Structure 1
Amino acid sequence: MQQLKLDTPYITLGQLLKRLDLISSGGHAKFFLEDVAVKINGQIEHRRGKKIYPQDVVDIEGYEPLQVV
């Protein structure tokens, strides 16, 4: 499982997708989330503004799971 270190208390799902280079801009997050299943701690998530905190596990369809630290 990959780990991602945060320098802030949380990161939004849209920011995370940009940081992982899965999307080129925040506006693309909406379309990405419509096409690709993303789970946060086992729950499917469609909101690009969802806050992700340390210890959360993000599972993006087709990619290795990621733990935020």
Structure 2
Amino acid sequence: MPDRPALSDNEVHDRLVAACDVLGDRSGATTRGDTALKAARKALRLFQLGLVMAMEQAEPTDRPPPDP
């Protein structure tokens, strides 16, 4: 498997949003499934929010250099 470049913060955020989109908004047919979906959606939203907040609070030295 070839080495792939690391994902940028924006790419990570985009993937978290995509994961949330894949889950959709349908409920589970069972309590177990519904609980799992609700927990996953909530966790993904919290991850998204946490990443955005960390990106906003990052020091300039924490950011990768701009692309040429």
- State the TM-score bracket (shorter-chain normalisation): under 0.3
Q: TM-score, normalised by structure 2?
A: 0.24
Question: Would you tell me which structure has more helix in proportion to its own residues?
Answer: 2
Q: Specify the structure having the higher radius of gyration (Cα).
A: 2
Q: TM-score, normalised by structure 1?
A: 0.24
Question: Would you tell me which structure has more strand in proportion to its own residues?
Answer: 1
